[in-house]
A and B are shown apart, each in its own frame.
Chain A
Amino acid sequence: MSITTLADKINDANAKGRTALIPFLPGGYPTKEVFWKEILELDANGADIIEIGMPFSDPVADGPVVEAASMKCLDAGVNLKWIIEGLAEVRPQINAGIVLMGYYNPVLQYGLEKFAKDANAAGVNGLIIADLPFEEGVDFRDLLAENEVALVPLVGLNTEPERMKLYANGGNGFCYFVSVLGTTGDRDSLPEEIKVGLKHAKEIFDIPVALGFGLKHPSQLEQLEGLVDAAVFGSALIRHIDEGKSSAEFMKVWT
């Protein structure tokens, strides 16, 4: 594994003429018992990268679906140790890249150094921290990079090119472009202005650009040809699983 694993995964998919697929599930969802089976199923059915949520009591960047799912996991006793240890066990069977996504405080309490080392040892390729903007995160980014883990930058519709450049300089993994001025949760349509933002991101970042928040169907990407290297979907997948359906079936629509 290396710091370029995530970019490589996305580039590989793009080389085959596909948008890379990045499903998201909160760690321990829908239950601790079946969670790793779901991950293996996502991996076997076309996921290029899998995002595992690190549940937090106060998820300010999340909409109601992800929040409720995360709370359920917390109630079941999921913590970072459970996720990292479980991942270390199944990682050899997973082909996709692995990203952990969550909030800063649980990682801080785990210990930044210990986290960087343990995450790397468990086969984590990248980390997304929703509440860690450039100014607060740059030191941690360097610490993670020393451990072959990418701190994935998040930008959005209101991120001016000047701020994108801050993230792009030394940024690694992929650029996560947030499709809406809002929280996670699927939406029927994406805002028009998204094209302008994506174009800036594509120009400014050397790493691939993934679009996330608000995605529920591949048709939403049709108008964004050439601007999106990867697609992240979470709420729509959670909802699908809540209806008792399989992740394999969900992935079919996208592959």
Chain B
Amino acid sequence: MKRGYYGDFGGQFVPELLMPPLLELEEAMGKILKSAEFQQEYTSLLKNFVGRPTALTHCQNLSRELGFNLWLKREDLAHTGAHKINNTVGQALLTKMMGKPKMLAETGAGQHGVATATAAALLDLECDIYMGATDVKRQSHNVRRMELFGAKCIPVHSGTQTLKDAINAALRQWIANQRTTHYCFGTAAGPHPFPLLVREFQSIIGREAKQQFKERTGEMPYMVVACVGGGSNAIGMFHEFVNEKSVKIVGVEAAGTGKPGCTNSAPINLGTPGVLHGMNTLLLQTDDGQILPSHSIAAGLDYPGVGPEHVHLHDTGRAEFGMVNDSQAINAFQMLCQKEGILPALESSHALAWAIENKDIIPKDANVIVNLSGRGDKDMDILDDYLAQHGK
């Protein structure tokens, strides 16, 4: 029987050699995640280690300027500076309770790598992080952080030497080391049960946001907005609102430079159906089914595929998926710094930019919650390069 479908999308397109660990993981999720022991420990770690709940900030200055009420869910304030930690602490605890001594993970920009290394250090697990050789060079600061936490960061020299190749390398290593190792997948994508597992750990974002917003206003928000790379911060924000039919849901993909035909990271808007990394989803690919390189100024959005549940939300019309290009994201990044004193990640800046660019179609005084998935300290070099190149 096929497992893990969201409409037509998802599934388990992996070598047979990976079916036993995927089935083992699914079974462990069923047993362990609901147990009182896990729940207690996880809740305590989220509170006392990650620093949850994260704040919900009403941006007074920008709201005045934009004409609607802009709220930010502040995942940038979580430990390690992004939402990724919600997932890695959960998976590390699960790894421990499954009796496995080691985790491996892929990383693109290094955010998930750092968050995995962090959780591994805390819970005394061995940790190997696969990272495209190009990314190792681009994000040397994060490589250093992983190493400080005791993880091994292994450069991947195959293919395009970026995130998609790091996932291939991690899957290969998992085949070889499945008996002792858990694959701590970084986003709500990949073969079942990963999209479900990652959603489970990230949906705390939307649950908190909904409750915090209700406490402050007594209402439901008009709209929630999040950027979509693989889709973990977005599904984390959306999940709690999917059944609140009055709430509009907007995912934002990265359009790259935004020029026609440019390399981008927007498979829902610009891709076609296909199978990669264990899932049937929308992909950037050639007519022959070869995967195309992606691009975004936000390294964390730079991926040619997307989690299957987002494709389903798009198909059914429950969510809308927009696009934001590099320059719009940079503009939003600077605006948030100047007007609100918050330095957003370039990924999160895409979500913010969508709200800014679409201010005219958002009703006056409507409440819009943007998921600020991470902080932007990591992006300073990229910002400077961009500004230098564009003569600013």
Chain A residues with CB under 8 Å of chain B are: 56-61, 63-64, 67-68, 71, 74, 79-80, 103-110, 130-136, 153-160, 163, 178, 180-183
Q: Which residue of B has the minimal Cβ distance to A74? A: B290
Which 3 pairs of residues, A with B, have the shortest CB-CB distance? A109-B289, A106-B289, A105-B289
Give the residues in chain B near A103, CB-CB below 8 Å. Answer: 275
Can you report 5 residue pairs joining A to B where beta carbons are below 8 Å apart?
A: A57-B290, A103-B275, A105-B276, A105-B289, A180-B176
Distance from B335 Cβ to chain A, minimum over Cβ atoms (Å): 38
Instruction: State the CA gap A74–B278 with chains docked (Å).
Output: 21
Q: Is the CB of B274 within 8 A of A64?
A: no
Complex alpha-carbon distance, A183 and B19, angstroms: 15
Which among A56, A71, A130, A160 is the interface contact of B15 at CB below 8 angstroms?
A130
Q: Does residue B17 face the partner (Cβ distance < 8 Å to A)?
A: yes
- Give the contacts of B13-59 with A (CB-CB under 8 A): 13-17, 19-20
Chain B: CB-nearest residue to A157: B17
Complex alpha-carbon distance, A5 and B172, angstroms: 32
CA distance A154 to B19 in the complex (A): 12
Which A residues touch B14, using CB under 8 A? Answer: 60, 131, 133
Docked complex Cα distance between A71 and B168 (Å)? 14
B271-307 vs A, Cβ < 8 Å mask (1 yes, 0 no): 0001111100001010111110000000000000000
Instruction: Output the residue of A71, A156, A178 with the most chain B CB within 10 A.
Output: A156
Query: Contacts A80-B288, A105-B289 given: A58-B168 contact, CB under 8 Å?
Result: yes
Task: Decide yes or no whether B12 CB sits under 8 A from chain A.
Answer: yes
**Alpha-carbon distance between A252 and B13 when the two chains are bound, in angstroms:** 38
Q: 16 additional contacts, CB 8 Å, given A68-B158, A105-B276, A180-B176?
A: A58-B276, A60-B15, A61-B17, A67-B159, A105-B275, A109-B274, A109-B288, A133-B19, A135-B1, A135-B3, A135-B12, A154-B15, A154-B17, A178-B16, A181-B175, A182-B176
Q: Which residues of B contact A178 (CB under 8 A)?
A: 16-17
Q: Given the complex of chains A and B, what is the CA–CA distance between A3 and B364 in angstroms?
A: 67
| Contact of B176 with A71 in the complex, beta carbons under 8 Å | no
- Selected from A59, A74, A132, the residue in CB contact (under 8 A) with B13 is A132
**Complexed CA–CA distance, A182 and B287 (Å):** 30
If A57-B290, A58-B291 touch, whether A104 touches B16 (CB-CB below 8 Å) is no
| Chain A minimum-CB-distance residue to B291 | A57
Interface residues of B in 329-355 (CB under 8 A from A): none
| A59–B21 alpha-carbon span in the complex (Å) | 19
Q: Is the Cβ of B16 less than 8 Å from the Cβ of A159?
A: yes
Q: Which residues of B contact A (CB under 8 A)?
A: 1-3, 11-17, 19-20, 158-159, 164-165, 168, 171-172, 175-176, 178, 274-278, 283, 285, 287-291
Shortest CB distance B191–A (Å): 9
Cβ-defined contact, B2 with A135, below 8 A: yes
**Cβ–Cβ < 8 Å partners of B288 in chain A:** 79-80, 106, 109-110
In the complex, A121→B344 CA distance in Å? 57
Report chain A residues within 8 Å CB of B171: 60
Determine how close the nearest CB of chain B comes to the CB of A77; give it in whole angstroms. 10
* Cα of A130 to Cα of B168 in the assembled complex, Å: 13
The CA of A133 and the CA of B17, in the complex, are separated in Å by: 9
Of B19, B20, B278, B288, chain A has the most CB atoms within 10 Å of the CB of B288
Query: How far does the alpha carbon of A63 sit from the alpha carbon of B176 in the complex, in Å?
Result: 12
A residues near B178, Cβ cutoff 8 Å: 158, 181
* A151 CA / B288 CA spacing, docked (Å): 21
Given contacts A58-B276, A136-B13, contact A108 B168 (CB under 8 A): no
A58–B15 contact, CB under 8 A?
no
Contact A104 B19 (CB under 8 A): no
B366: shortest Cβ distance to chain A, in Å? 41
**Contact yes or no, B11 A71, CB < 8 A:** no
B contact residues around A135 at 8 Å (CB): 1-3, 12
Q: A133: which B residues are within 8 A, CB to CB?
A: 12-16, 19
C-alpha gap A122/B159 in the complex (Å): 30
List residues of chain A with CB within 8 A of the CB of B274: 105, 108-109
A133 CA to B11 CA in the complex, in Å?
A: 10
Decide if B275 touches A108 in the complex (CB within 8 Å).
yes
- A160 B20 Cβ-Cβ under 8 A: yes
Q: Are B159 and A57 in contact (CB-based, < 8 A)?
A: yes
Residue among B15, B168, B176, B277 having the largest count of chain A Cβ atoms under 10 Å: B15
Find out whether the CB atom of B278 lies under 8 angstroms from the CB atom of A131. Answer: yes
Q: Which residues of A contact B277 (CB under 8 A)?
A: 58, 60
CB of A163 within 8 A of CB of B19, answer: yes
> With A and B bound together, what is the CA distance between A131 and B277 in angstroms?
9
Instruction: Give the residues in chain A near B285, CB-CB below 8 Å.
Output: 105, 109
Indicate whether A182 sits within 8 Å of B175 (C-beta atoms), given known contacts A105-B285, A109-B287, A131-B15.
yes
Residues of B within 8 A of A67 (CB): 158-159
On whether A181 and B17 interact (CB within 8 A), knowing A58-B168, A106-B288, A106-B289, the answer reads yes
Contact B2 A136 (CB under 8 A): yes
B residues within 8 A CB of A68?
A: 158
A138 to B168, CA, bound (A): 25
Which residue of B has the minimal Cβ distance to A62?
A: B172
Measured between C-beta atoms, what is the minimum distance from A179 to chain B in Å?
Answer: 11
Highest count of chain B CB atoms <10 Å: which of A58, A63, A183:
A58
Pick the contact of A159: B20, B283, B289, B291 (CB < 8 A).
Answer: B20
Docked CA distance A87–B255 (Å): 40
CA of A181 to CA of B287, assembled, Å: 33
Assembled-state Cα–Cα distance A11/B84 (Å): 54
Q: Which residue of chain B has the shortest Cβ distance to A163 in the bound complex?
A: B19
Q: A56-B290, A183-B175 are in contact. Are A134 and B16 (CB under 8 A)?
A: yes
Taking the nearest CB of chain A, how far is it from the CB of B168, in angstroms? 5
Residues on B with C-beta less than 8 A from A155 are 16
Interchain CB contact (< 8 A) of B172 among A109, A156, A182: A182
